[in-house]
Amino acid sequence: MRDSELAEIRKLPLFCSMAEENFHVLTHAAYDQTFPAQVQLIEEGAVADFLHVVVEGSVELFADWQGRETTMAVVPPVSTFILAASIMDAPYLMSARTLGRTRIILLPSVNLRTMFQTDPNFAMATISELAASYRSVVRHTKNLKLRTARERLAAYLLTHATSGRRGASFTLPVEKRLLASFLGVTPESLSRLMKSLQDFGVNVDGQRITITDPSALAKIAILSPQMDGPDSNGVTTGIGLPDVNLEPKESPKYPIKTIKEAKLSLF
């Protein structure tokens, strides 16, 4: 494993406070592997033998039941997933597959559990990650149950235009079919919902989204920290999609700030 990759992993909130010797023990038995697109990495119900770290590419977490399938999250680099199952020695609750060429570092779950009992800083970081993930799942569930489909889409788009300035423009970080599944609608319904938001300042050009009237969109979304977050400490861990880089569309003297990079550590 490359030293640069170990350094990137070391920066993650889950590992940054570990004792150096414990981090070396944890990563000594790790190995990395490169997968092509559309390779299923794990299967729901299987034993969680490894904690996965995405260092390049991206991974879709999904679930299926009776012929129906839904996207739970998309994990960007550098991020971990399947933490809870690894710590609990429990079966996976979701499946995972690569969306493109992806490099994964696998950390044996048995070593993870040993470090949880050995290193108090790592134990506290693990508890914090799992607590943040739990709160994210509650928010996502509330979003699905309490908002209409159009309100969910409006809230998703508005949270990516956090500056509140006219002309906020960004490219959707995932394919529209994945966004539709994450929001609990069909791709066809998502297309209709996008069109329905045109009168509220949403311009769509392929994957490019431009928000020309955030105040109008806000009247539909009605954002709430209890449903949309983030928490006061700025933690963004949990169920979700990758963040995007906002690009200024109007005057360059009013730059739009980039949303803080999400670090996911999921079930």
Asked if residue 99 has pLDDT above 80, the reply is yes
CB atoms within 10 A of CB 266: 28
Fold of 3-142: Jelly Rolls (2.60.120)
CA 237, CA 68: separation in Å to the nearest integer?
Answer: 27
pLDDT at 10 over 70: yes
Residue 261 predicted with pLDDT over 90 = no
CA 54 to chain centre: 12
Q: Where in the chain is the domain with CATH 1.10.10.10?
A: 145-260
- The more confidently predicted of residues 264 and 152 is 152
Enumerate the CATH 2.60.120.10 domain ranges in the chain, comma separated: 3-142
252 pLDDT above the threshold of 90: no
Average pLDDT, the chain: 86
pLDDT average, residue stretch 231-256 = 54
- Residue 67's contacts (CB-CB under 8 Å, 6 or more residues apart) are none
pLDDT over threshold 50, residue 267: no
Instruction: Please report the pLDDT score of residue 163 as a whole number.
Output: 47
Q: Which range among 12-21, 73-82, 228-237 shows the weakest confidence by mean pLDDT?
A: 228-237
The CATH number given to 145-260 is 1.10.10.10
| pLDDT for residue 79 | 92
Q: Which residue has the higher pLDDT, 248 or 148?
A: 148
What's the pLDDT at 167?
A: 59
pLDDT band at 254 (very low <50, low <70, confident <90, very high): very low
Q: Where are the alpha helices (H) located in the chain, listed in sequence order?
A: 3-11, 20-28, 83-88, 109-118, 120-146, 149-159, 176-183, 187-196, 214-221, 225-228
| Percent of the chain's residues with pLDDT above 90 | 73
Point out the least confidently predicted range of 64-73, 89-98, 162-171, 187-196: 162-171
**Whole-number pLDDT of residue 169:** 86
Check whether 262 has a pLDDT greater than 90.
Answer: no
159 vs 183: CA distance, rounded Å: 14
Phi/psi for 242 (5° steps) reads -60, 150
Distance of CA 230 to the CA centre of its chain: 13
| pLDDT higher than 60, residue 249 | no
This prediction's pTM = 0.84
**CA distances in angstroms from 178 to 35, 166, 207, listed in the order given:** 20, 27, 12
User: How many Cα atoms occupy the beta-carbon half-sphere of 20 within 13 Å?
Assistant: 1
For the cut 80, the answer to whether the pLDDT of residue 259 exceeds it is no
Residue 77 has pLDDT above 50, yes or no: yes
- Residue 159's pLDDT band (cuts 50, 70, 90): confident
pLDDT of residue 7: 86
